[in-house]
Amino acid sequence: MIMTPPPTTLVAGVDEAGRGPLAGPVYAAAVVLDETYPVEGLADSKVLSEKRREMLAMEIRQRARAWAVAFATAREIDEMNILQATFLAMRRAVASLSIAPTLVLVDGNRAPEFNCAVQTVVRGDATVASISAASILAKVARDAVLIDLDRQHPGYGFARHKGYPTALHLEALDRYGPTPEHRLSFAPVRDRINRK
């Protein structure tokens, strides 16, 4: 009798970027790395310089077996809350992969359901190469969108703070009010709307 070997585990790392900002979409990426074609220098995207992230993102896109980036809009965040919108972006990223993983590793301690096994990894963006790669792709993609948003809405400083609640951003909100890309359900934005 011929024994069929167990299927090789095909692992996708998943991470997000942009849960905390007051404006813009939340992004997620999924990456299936090629172990025979490794990317050197992977790390948590937050500890890398912008230039290094962009260089690594290019390498990841060239060398990975599969990768995908997806997002949930500010309106979707307002409709379903930031956690569920993040999960939606993660599911969209995994569904967009050109090959279906058999295991998804998600950074953190909570994860959405996928059509395969899933495991959370606390600090995975610093310890698991495929999650690090996903964190880099998600961050680079989101930063590019916020730089574009800065051109559409000059005066808010999106290119500098990427939508996070800095003093500059809060002052701009007080002066100009929210843009269509602001998350109206987030307290600093909602409170300013209610004050008017």
pLDDT digits (tens, 9 = 90+) for 116-132: 999 999 999 999 999 99
The whole-number pLDDT of residue 125 equals: 92
The whole-number pLDDT of residue 5 equals: 38
Residue 157 belongs to domain with CATH number: 3.30.420.10
Is 134 domain-assigned? yes
Give residue 123's domain range: 11-195
The whole-number pLDDT of residue 22 equals: 98
pTM: 0.93
Is 1 domain-assigned? no
Is 3 domain-assigned? no
Number of domains in the chain: 1
Residue 86 scores a pLDDT above 50: yes
Is 2 domain-assigned? no
Is 24 domain-assigned? yes
Residues near 72 by Cβ (< 8 Å), separated by ≥ 6?
Answer: 25, 26, 85, 86, 88, 89, 92
Confidence of residue 1 (pLDDT cuts 50, 70, 90): very low
Q: How far is residue 12's CA from residue 16's CA, in Å, rounded to a whole number?
A: 13
Is 162 domain-assigned? yes
Is 52 domain-assigned? yes
pLDDT digit string (tens) for 168-186?
999 999 999 999 999 999 9
Average confidence score pLDDT of the chain: 93
Q: What is the mean pLDDT of residues 80-108?
A: 97
Is 43 domain-assigned? yes
Q: How far is residue 114's CA from residue 177's CA, in Å, rounded to a whole number?
A: 38
